Amino acid sequence: QAGQPTILVVTHGQASDPFWSIVKNGAMQAAKDTNVKVEYRAPETFDMVAMAKLIDAAVNQKPAGLVVSNPDPDALGPAIRRAVAAGIPVVSMNSGIAAADKLGIAFHVGQEELSAGRTVGAELKKRGGSKVLCVNQEVGNAALDQRCKGVTEGFGGPVTVMPTSADPAEIESKIRAALSADKSIDVVLGLSAPLVGERAVAAVQGMGLGAKVKVASYDLSAGFLKSVAEGKAEFAVDQQPYLQGYVPVSSLALKARYGTLPAGHVPSGPSFVTKATAPQVIGLSAKGIR
Amino acid sequence: MAHPTSTPLIEVRDVTKHFGSVIALGGVSMTVHAGEVLCLLGDNGAGKSTLIGTLAGVHQPTSGELRVDGRPVRFASPRDALDAGIATVYQDLAMIPLMSVTRNFFMGREPETGWGPFKRFDMALADRITHEEMRRIGIDVRDPQQAVGTLSGGERQCVAIARAVHFGAKVLILDEPTSALGVAQTSMVLKYIGQVRERGLGVIFITHNVRHAYAVGQRFTVLNRGRTLGTHAKHEISMDALQNLMAGGKELADVGAELGGTI
Amino acid sequence: MAHPTSTPLIEVRDVTKHFGSVIALGGVSMTVHAGEVLCLLGDNGAGKSTLIGTLAGVHQPTSGELRVDGRPVRFASPRDALDAGIATVYQDLAMIPLMSVTRNFFMGREPETGWGPFKRFDMALADRITHEEMRRIGIDVRDPQQAVGTLSGGERQCVAIARAVHFGAKVLILDEPTSALGVAQTSMVLKYIGQVRERGLGVIFITHNVRHAYAVGQRFTVLNRGRTLGTHAKHEISMDALQNLMAGGKELADVGAELGGTI
Amino acid sequence: MTGTLSPPETGQARAADERLKHVSPMAALIRRPELGAIGGLVLVTLFFLSVADPSMFSLAGVMNFMAPAAQLGILAIGAALLMIGGEFDLSLGSMVAFAGLVFAGCLVVWQVPLPLALLATFATAVAIGLVNAQITLRTGLPSFIVTLAFLFILRGLTLVGLKWASGGATQLRGVKEAVEGSVLAPLFMGHTFTGLFSWMAERGWIARFDNGQPAVTGIPIEILWFIALTAVATWVLLRTKYGNWIFAAGGDAKGARKSGVPVARVKIALFITTAACAALVAVLTVLDAGSTDARRGFQKEFEAIIAAVIGGCLLTGGYGSAIGAFFGSIIFGMVLIGLTYTGIDQDFYLVFLGGMLLLAVIFNNIVRKRVTGER
Amino acid sequence: MTGTLSPPETGQARAADERLKHVSPMAALIRRPELGAIGGLVLVTLFFLSVADPSMFSLAGVMNFMAPAAQLGILAIGAALLMIGGEFDLSLGSMVAFAGLVFAGCLVVWQVPLPLALLATFATAVAIGLVNAQITLRTGLPSFIVTLAFLFILRGLTLVGLKWASGGATQLRGVKEAVEGSVLAPLFMGHTFTGLFSWMAERGWIARFDNGQPAVTGIPIEILWFIALTAVATWVLLRTKYGNWIFAAGGDAKGARKSGVPVARVKIALFITTAACAALVAVLTVLDAGSTDARRGFQKEFEAIIAAVIGGCLLTGGYGSAIGAFFGSIIFGMVLIGLTYTGIDQDFYLVFLGGMLLLAVIFNNIVRKRVTGER
Ligand SMILES: Nc1ncnc2c1ncn2[C@@H]1O[C@H](COP(=O)(O)OP(=O)(O)OP(=O)(O)O)[C@@H](O)[C@H]1O
Ligand SMILES: Nc1ncnc2c1ncn2[C@@H]1O[C@H](COP(=O)(O)OP(=O)(O)OP(=O)(O)O)[C@@H](O)[C@H]1O
Ligand SMILES: [Mg+2]
Ligand SMILES: [Mg+2]
């Protein structure tokens, strides 16, 4: 309708990525709740050059607010600066907290992948892991690479990164191969629960290694959470992507209407979903809310 | 030998064919009867192959009518023409270089054996027939499984002719079949044409060689720049007159004299 | 006309060529002198095109020697042969159907104008020359920018011949140039061959038409199943004898009689 | 008019042609283009035998790399047939995702019984194959660009459909529960010959896990599908008239049409076959994983073409074999999984994949040239 | 022996050929294959004019979609030339990443001055192009499979190199700081005609932001490169002998060789040109972004081929134009960015992209057939 402020969301995650589809769901729900118009845009691969152009395109449309993820402040900085210069309030989410103040971003919602990774690494160490296999289904996606890097730093022990494609059969076979070739691996960490985590559980169970090898994963999926609840997997790392979509949009809606904005950054994770908490989350996860 | 009173096997009525802005055929009429060899003569680019293409279902005429056995037909594809009993040797041969001689020979009309879903291409029979038909035309293919791309120009032409002759049902169209053939193979092919005619088929024979045409043809149609110059029965026209008609009159006299009448 | 004492322009010594298990040439020798037309005759599959291929740099001989002007040569590519002054009309024409007549005509030997980095393909000149050369051979191309793929078989052959004649420097090789040509075009080409010879070039002329060969040739080499049957000067052999030699003796007598000696 | 013309007077019956070098029957036997792909496979196997952990070639290890190879291979067989017929299908991978959505949607959302779900899935695939074929044939556009459009369209529709079916997520699950007890299920999921394998494990012929379970419980069903499809495709290509038509349509569509080959129908059938192969893979993977998601089959069209080309198919059509694609898929699957068994730094994953591919193909080429003689 | 034979006695000089239908000069003028691509562009533009936010066709909006179109277009021109010459380069996208790594590595890690870094980058690209060409030509393998191997190898090396250069990350930053003040920098980064644009902004001819800055500060330099390259490529293709050789090599390599075209040298030059185009895009994007990462240029080889095919290049070689690739890239870039300006949900992005591609290409085809007459 006329008079409805428009808020544009530009991120680096494809719409088909499970994590980012939850972010988008959060943003859209916020739009409904606060009665604003939201348009969500993202390049089809991890492509900083294209993303900068999408931000430029958003600025051209003079929205009431702009939400961006910022995995590469060097590449996206100039476009974000242009938005700020044009007088558009900008909120960053998910990644890029360090550059937020420098670029004139209003506030940041999310958790730096690197530091989240450190927390996860430490948690794995605490749970008695001695060698981690970090399965990365999209090598070169800087955000995912930082997850593994953070885990390596936080874990303090040997962490092997295993690159794969997003094909479930390939992922399961490669995990099986890695486990049979290197018997010392006792933790398999997936960077995406639906794509890797579920396959890792299948591989470990299929090889009869349930007692020895622990499985954990970033992000949530109903199937993986079920495994967590059944004790076949240790935990799922939750960054609360729904929040990362909801909070910036609703805040910018308030900003457009009443001029109010939070004064500081909002950390959204990581939190761990464990055996105790998993059952409540399964239903929401199947609907793309958690 | 021509049967002017009987229904012609094939009748072409005022056919035109345009390619974009090019008018390849500008109104051509012609008839072929059973048991006759009609020779189609004409200079390069006169439109002979285009005319043949419309009979064989390769081109659809821009205007005009085709009749087979007196009934108007429209061939949407070469398969329709084949089904109507018209077999053609194309000037560009229409063969697949990467495929074997046998596979090319039977392309589109494979002999089968076995039953139901287990019907299979009877390769042994096909090989045998191919070998036999090629030997008849004077070519001893080393191995019918050899790729057509490795054959010599003349050998390839022989495969195309043997194929058309083998499958010819009612009408046989030959577009410059003898152009790449050696002496022995040429005489073979001409003899074949005679035999085919005697068995009651209609034959359309395109050639630039007036001697070849005169040796086997009953009637001669001359095309020039996309139009018919007329049709003549053998007893109406001499070889020299035909030669002159084909090449456009006086030009040839000079040349013929110069080269001692050897063309 | 042949010059048995002078150094031959091209000398082929005991050349063999194998394709995998196929022996296409089994030891062939031959010479061509300046100012003579050597006709290469032989049945289909005799190895004529293969022999020509080794002279034009398309094939490398398996064994044997080529000499040009008495010096042994090895042609690594057709470009080497062209640079040595040998121009060839291939039986398969070697033309690119999607390219225009002019572009095909000058392919590999484009006339240029302008200087330094701004040198450009002189298309106006090229169009003019193409049009002219094609007219000379009796074909009036509608538009030299028309794609070769839209030409008729004979028109295409004329482009190939005109090209080779235009660029022939020392030796001109023609592999069945007249096979798809009309009467007028054929006499044109034969006249050309005579003119080219008179200007001191050596010509190798492959044909299945003994009349054509006899009209322009001085010497005749007959190939049979990959081997030379010998070379004869024009005064040593009659047309009929040549015809018989080419087709392998007695077979032809029957056929010739049957068809009234018209082949 | 077969055989009614007068017999030849001129054909001198020659027992053997003097223009043929002698070739031993052995050499003739191995003179098949597939030998190249086998050569590549042998090379890759030798490589891994020498550098990889021996568990790679244990029974469990072989099954492990054969399973993804088989899934890829089923697509590669379809892609190879289509390539031989002169066309591409770039929508293959997206088709896997879309068919997976249809299949899982039928089972989970509409609670349709398995046979009907299978029917719906394959019917969808056939319909899309038909659309691809019709657009390609009617417009005369290259199939590359037409199916590319469907690569995008189907992938996009899958995402939209999944979100709709799951209420907002990109994953649809609960398939295993939905098919439990269906009689058709064993045809598409799990392992076969399980009895045999556990019997062998009891005798100690097969390694067992610490918990006493045999390391290999049976042959994954997709491997059987893969082998069966290869056999059928090979038979069709080499032994039926349809095979002849496929080669002809791909070798020179115009020439084939002139000779009476129904080129359009052949191509339509091939597009449909390829789409059906994609649907089969979708069914197998959805039942295997118990769920489907928006990324299923991502870039599989590409891998299928690679496997077909490794196996000797020409991109220009008219040449290739199903057996070649079979070995090509195994080479690709082996290289994909194999690095994990070696001590090489995993960061070199792609370098290794590329290098091995190149080696296998070059070797393949050398072997083929050697056995078929000079070109 | 030009012109020395006797003049024709037989050629009847005919003023006009009666076998040509009359064609108006206007019709002849528009009878160019490029018109199809222009038709597609017009269609897409009309579509966006009717559904998109008007800011899409403001000056800023046009610059906004032209910049990625130009980056893609530079690759597409290279890919189109190579395709016309009968080969593919699938390593194009990975080449962008690898050249980006070399360039950024030189500047940031080794602190080499810009001119030397440029030299090293282009030298690397030329070397890799040469390797691609040599392997393709020596082995006789299809370039599809050879460059595919390099797609993997170069992408893998980029990952390894980046990790090494950045100490474990997959991003390398700080390029802008490294080139500050270099005289060559303006050739590859930023905008041109900035003076003109701010002058126009002062007059109010260009929209300004609230802080008074003009919305468009100049023409992004990649657009100028794109136009310049298109012009050069068109000139080479249509007006020089090298163009003739490229068409010939792609149309029929054997026939071209027989006619004396140095096919091998032409193909080598084309592979090198394509690689150099990739290096140019790498330099432009690295300087634009100030950083590089392991995913740069991902799937760009694919997009470049798409743009070339939209522009009318045949996958089988021997036919196409640089102008076509120019318009094809703009169509693709416009569709890519255009969705942002419409209210269509992002989930439908791929459906939209595929649909628009198909429409543009079909329309392109209809226009071309209409203007060039029946085939
Ligand atoms: N690449 C090849 N591979 C295998 N065999 C070949 C190859 N090229 C030619 N041959 C064989 O070599 C023999 C000689 O062929 P060539 O083309 O030289 O004959 P030709 O004398 O030119 O015949 P024509 O008069 O029919 O053109 C033929 O039997 C042919 O099958
Ligand atoms: N697809 C096409 N597009 C444009 N012009 C064409 C096309 N096909 C044929 N032509 C033209 O139509 C005319 C007739 O061609 P056609 O092939 O029928 O001649 P022809 O009588 O068979 O000649 P030849 O004896 O040389 O084979 C030629 O001038 C040719 O250039
Ligand atoms: Mg013709
Ligand atoms: Mg020959």
What DSSP line would sit under E257-319, residue for residue? HHTT--HHHHHHHHHHHHHHHHHHHHHHHHHHHSEEETTTTTTHHHHHHHHHHHTT--TTSS-
Mutate to test the pocket of ligand 2, among B15, B16, B19 (most ligand atoms within 8 A of CB): B19
Q: What is the mean pLDDT of residues C123-152?
A: 87
Q: How far is CA C112 from CA C115, C191, D355, E240, in A?
A: 9, 31, 44, 8
Q: Do C254 and D9 touch (CB under 8 A)?
A: yes
Is the CB of residue B148 below 6 angstroms from any atom belonging to ligand 1? no
Query: Which of B19, B21, B258 is the best substitution to test chain E (most E C-beta atoms within 10 A)?
Result: B21
d(CA B214, CA E35): 51
Query: For position D351, what pLDDT does the model report?
Result: 92
CA dist., res. B93 & res. B158, Å (int)? 10
Report chain E residues whose CB lies below 8 A from the CB of B26. 19
Q: Is B27 helix (H, G, I), strand (E, B) or coil?
A: strand
Supply the ipTM of this predicted assembly: 0.90
**Residue C146 pLDDT class (50, 70, 90 cuts):** confident
H/E segment holding residue B73: strand B71-73
Give the Cα separation of A80 and A77 in Å (integer). Answer: 5
Q: What is the dihedral of CA E175, E176, E178, E181, to 10 degrees?
A: 150
Residue E20 at interface with chain B, using a CB cutoff of 8 Å: yes
Stretch (H or E) spanning B52: helix B48-55
Check residues C255 and A139 and name the one with the higher pLDDT: A139
Q: How far is C46 from chain D, CA to nearest CA, in Å? A: 10
Cβ(C19) to ligand 1 under 6 A?
yes
Main-chain phi, psi angles of B87, to 5 degrees: -105, 140
Tokens of D127: 């319909």
Judged by CB atoms closer than 8 Å, whether chains meet at E19 and B22 is answered as yes
Task: Give the pLDDT confidence score for residue B68 in this predicted structure.
Answer: 93
CB–CB of E160/E282 below 8 Å? no
pLDDT of amino acid E39: 84
* Candidate from C12, C15, C17, C19 with most ligand 1 atoms within 8 A of CB, to mutate: C19
Q: How far is B225 from chain E (nearest CA, A)?
A: 7
* Three-class DSSP category at D373: coil
Cβ pair D373:C20 closer than 8 A: yes
What span, in angstroms and rounded, lies between the C-alpha atoms of D331 and D334?
A: 5
Ligand 1 pocket, mutate which of B150, B157, B158, B189 (most atoms under 8 A from CB): B150
Q: What stretch of H or E contains B40?
A: strand B37-42
Residue C26, amino acid: G
Structure tokens at D280: 């089969």
Whether C262 shows a pLDDT value over 50: the answer reads: no
Q: Is B55 left (phi over 0), alpha (psi -120 to 50) or beta?
A: alpha
CA–CA separation, E162 vs E142, rounded Å?
A: 30
Q: What angle do CA E235, E237, E239 make, to 5 degrees?
A: 55
CB distance C20–D374 less than 8 Å?
A: yes
Find the C47 Cα to ligand 4 centroid distance in Å: 7
What is the structure's pLDDT at B243?
Answer: 83
Q: What is the pLDDT of residue D24?
A: 60
What are the strands, taking DSSP E only, across C94-170? 112-113, 120-121
The model carries a pTM of: 0.91
Q: What integer best gives the mean pLDDT of chain A?
A: 90
Integer Rg of chain B from CA:
19
Query: Measured from the CB, is residue C21 less than 6 Å from ligand 1?
Result: no
Which residues sit opposite C171 in a β-bridge?
C86, C202
Q: Which residue matches tokens 């001692």?
A: B260
Q: Is the separation of the CB atoms in B229 and B245 below 8 Å?
A: yes
Per-residue pLDDT reduced to its tens digit, E228-270: 999 999 999 999 999 999 999 999 999 999 999 999 999 999 9
Q: Give the separation between CA B243 and CA B237, rounded to whole angstroms.
A: 10
Please name which of B169, B229, B187 lies closest in space to residue B40, comparing C-alpha atoms: B229
Going from the Cα of C182 to the center of ligand 2, the distance in angstroms, rounded, reads 13
Q: Is the CB of B24 under 6 A from ligand 2?
A: yes
| Residue D111, CA distances (Å) to C20, D169, D190, D290, E202 in order | 62, 19, 21, 15, 66
pLDDT band, residue B246 (cuts 50/70/90): confident
Spatial contact of E261 and E251, defined as CB atoms under 8 Å apart: no
Q: Is E260 on the interface with C (CB under 8 A)?
A: yes
User: Tens place of pLDDT for every residue, chain D, 375 residues?
Assistant: 333 333 333 333 344 566 666 666 555 555 566 777 888 899 899 999 999 988 899 888 999 999 999 999 999 999 999 999 999 999 999 999 999 999 999 999 999 999 999 999 999 999 999 999 999 999 888 898 899 999 999 999 999 999 999 888 888 988 988 888 888 888 898 888 888 887 877 777 777 766 667 777 888 999 999 999 999 999 999 999 999 999 999 999 999 999 999 999 999 999 999 999 999 999 999 998 889 988 899 889 989 998 998 888 888 888 889 999 999 999 999 988 998 898 888 888 889 989 988 988 888 788 777 665 544
Q: What angle do CA A145, A150, A151 make, to 5 degrees?
A: 100
- What's the C19 CA to ligand 1 centre distance in angstroms? 9
Around Cβ E168, how many Cβ atoms within 10 Å? 13
- Look up residue C154 and give its amino acid: G
Distance CA D280, CA D287 (A): 11
Q: How far is C225 from chain D (nearest CA, A)?
A: 7
- Put simply, the chain D residues between 76 and 135 with a CB less than 8 A from any chain B CB are none
Percent of chain B with pLDDT over 90: 44
User: If you average pLDDT over residues B90-117, what whole number do you get?
Assistant: 89
pLDDT at A154 over 70: yes
Where do the DSSP E strands lie in C123-177?
A: 171-175
- Report which protein residue has its CA nearest ligand 2's atom 9: C150
With the CA atoms of C249, C254, C256 and C259 taken in that order, what torsion angle do they form, in degrees rounded to the nearest 10?
A: -160
Closest to A65 (Cα-Cα) out of A276, A253, A193: A253
Residues of D with CB below 8 A from E306's CB?
Answer: 145, 148
* Cβ of B53 less than 6 Å from ligand 2: no
Residue A65: the pLDDT is 94
* Interval between CA B133 and ligand 4 midpoint (Å): 21
Chains adjacent to C (≥3 CB pairs closer than 8 angstroms): B, D, E
CA C233 to mean position of chain CA atoms? 19
Partners of residue B80 in chain D, C-beta under 8 Å: none
Candidates A173, A194, A198; nearest CB to D67? A173
Give contacts of E254 with chain C, Cβ < 8 Å.
94
Partner residue opposite C98 with nearest CB, options E235, E257, E318? E318
**Residue type at A266 in one-letter notation:** V
Residue carrying the six token digits 């000067």 = C233
**pLDDT per position as a tens digit, E170-187:** 888 889 888 888 888 888
**CB-based contact A93:A110 (threshold 8 Å):** yes
Ligand nearest to the CA of residue B93, numbered in listed order: 3
Distance (Å, rounded) from C-alpha C71 to C-alpha C10? Answer: 9
D positions 311-340 inside 8 Å of E (CB): 314-316
The answer to whether chain D touches chain B by having 3 or more C-beta pairs less than 8 angstroms apart is yes
Chain D hits for C21, CB-CB cut-off 8 Å, are 20-21, 23, 373
Say how many CB pairs under 8 Å bridge A and E: 122
B260 vs A192, which has greater pLDDT?
A: A192
Residues of D in contact with E162 (CB under 8 A): none
Q: Which one of E6, E19, E29, E368 makes the best mutation probe of the B interface by having the most chain B beta carbons within 10 Å?
A: E19
**C-alpha dihedral sign at C254, C257, C263, D5:** negative
DSSP D340: G
For E257, other C-beta atoms within 10 Å of its C-beta total 21
Outline where DSSP puts E strands in D43-186. Answer: 171-173
Q: Which residues in chain A have their CB less than 8 angstroms from residue D341's CB? A: 177, 180-181
Q: Between vectors from CA D80 to CA D76 and to CA D84, what angle results, nearest 5°?
A: 175
DSSP chain A: -TTPPEEEEE-SS-TTSHHHHHHHHHHHHHHHHHT-EEEEE--SSS-HHHHHHHHHHHHHT--SEEEEE-S-HHHHHHHHHHHHHTT--EEEEES-HHHHHHHT-SEEEE--HHHHHHHHHHHHHHTT--SEEEEESSTT-HHHHHHHHHHHHHH-S-EEEEE--S-HHHHHHHHHHHHHH-TT--EEEESSIIIIIHHHHHHHHHTT-TTT-EEEEES--HHHHHHHHHTSS-EEEE--HHHHHHHHHHHHHHHHHH----SS-B----EEEETTTHHHHHHHHHTT--
C-beta of residue B73 within 8 angstroms of C-beta of residue B245? no
* Cα of A145 to nearest chain E Cα, Å: 7
Number of other CB atoms surrounding residue A283 within 10 Å: 12
- Please list, in sequence order, all residues whose beta carbon lies within 8 angstroms of the beta carbon of residue B64, skipping any fewer than 6 positions away: B12, B13, B14, B15, B16, B27, B28
pLDDT of residue C35: 92
Does the C-beta of C195 come closer than 6 Å to ligand 2? no
CA of B209 to the centre of ligand 3 (A): 13
Span A8-54, pLDDT tens digits: 999 998 878 888 999 999 999 999 999 999 999 999 888 888 899 99
Any residues with CB less than 8 A from the CB of E245 and at least 6 apart, and which? C107, C108, E256, E261, E262, E263, E266
**Secondary structure letter of residue B235 according to DSSP:** G
| Helix or strand (DSSP H, E) at C242 | helix C239-247
